A and B are shown apart, each in its own frame.
Chain A
């Protein structure tokens, strides 16, 4: 008997969600906690649906999520475009590795949120600032995983490529990059998660649109249901991003004959 087939996994997942919602409902209807402190699931969902079509803090929930996703796309895209090539180069050129790694190892421990004051100063609170903060969150996993993927590429394949006279540039694009793809995709998933989290954090402080901004406005109006509706939106989009990246990962591994 196989317990962990796809269907059962979905059922088990739903049990988790259902149990959580049940516990939440129980807590809120018991009256032990005031509804302002813990709004009931029903009121949150009601608010969520309401916000889908009604403007709050300058836009509907969809507008805010869309604004956030654009920013996310900018910051995440920039992190991938810079982090992955740099990581691969560091994995191949020892000199670059020795120069960049110590600096990077220090900088990466600075939480993305710590960049907020400078992000606002340098790039403003509209598009640039939040993008920089997302970038700060999303960049390290892109770089680290591309670097590791290149560094731990099968040495036999590298030797094979060397004996075939492969020049440096092609070595990176045709040998190291494909070798590193599984590691890079895993990095992108972490990177997307961190970037998306940093974004909301950034919008809580800077920006005048976006899901984080909407939540801050909700807080200002003592509308805890709005804050929670925002949280649902964040979780949902985050899940969608992760599922999309996992699909890419599976497709690539299948193409290489590696089971998932």
Chain B
């Protein structure tokens, strides 16, 4: 369970008459356990869409729902991984990961087991008692992902999670996320600027356009991935070398560039 639906969603800032229309008529269906990447130029409202699902923000028209229930407030069934990690600086790695489980009322013994499992899975065990500021950006984002995954959420919302990381760390994290997603598939909405990242990770890629923000095109990746057996390749660069990968990447780039050309014209 964890199907996300955007039904004719709009967002206007300011008054209805002369406000800024950030999103208009957004329709998007993300199936249960589907990995949906959302790409688009800055200001197209992709982060706003994610915030609707998280319950941090409300659309001014239309409905955002998860499993048919309209989203009204944030909750642990829809875990968020933020670009800037958003870890509590006064809590250790362990305490950060544990917070959501404590809120859920999970008994202590079970909490310890779950936290230890996820720490091991994310190669964080030796940092359990470190404070976030003692870790690198990549490590902090691992903690943030662990904090989300440990709740076993229906929906995982990732807002440019690797945007603040250097290129090498980014690649490692992308590979790890694929590993994690295969092991324990969740419905994922993944916002990114990076087209390659989207193609590598996602089942489908939604391309957004701006002024007003809307979903312009949806590209299916999964059928190609399965047909061309991408998962046989362990390393990201091997996948990126495949003709089928390059083809999809180029297709998305073209679509994004058309957008730009129309803006300039």
A→B interface (CB under 8 Å): 154, 156-157, 159-167, 170, 174-175, 178, 181, 255-257
Contact = CB atoms under 8 A, between A and B. Distances in A.
B133 interface: yes
A178 B86 contact: no
Contacts of B82: 156, 159-160
A165 B103 contact: yes
A164 B100 contact: yes
B103 A166 contact: yes
17 contacts: A156-B84, A156-B86, A161-B88, A162-B56, A162-B73, A163-B56, A163-B74, A163-B75, A163-B79, A164-B147, A165-B103, A165-B104, A166-B99, A170-B102, A174-B88, A256-B89, A257-B89
B134 interface: yes
A29 to B, nearest CB: 56
A160 B89 CA distance: 12
Interface string B40-61: 0000000000000011100000
B5 interface: no
Secondary structure type dominating chain A contacts: helix
A159 B103 contact: no
A51 to B, nearest CB: 45
Interface of B: 54-56, 73-76, 78-80, 82, 84, 86-91, 99-100, 102-104, 131, 133-134, 147, 151
A257 B86 contact: no
Given A164-B147, A178-B90, A257 B103 contact: no
Contacts of B151: 164
Given A175-B88, A178-B88, A178-B90, A163 B80 contact: yes
Contacts of B54: 159, 163
Nearest to B84: A156
Contacts of B73: 162
A157 B86 contact: yes
Nearest to B100: A164
Contact of A174 (B87, B99, B134): B99
Contacts of B56: 159, 162-163
Contact of A170 (B86, B89, B103): B103
Contacts of A178: 88, 90
Contacts of A181: 90
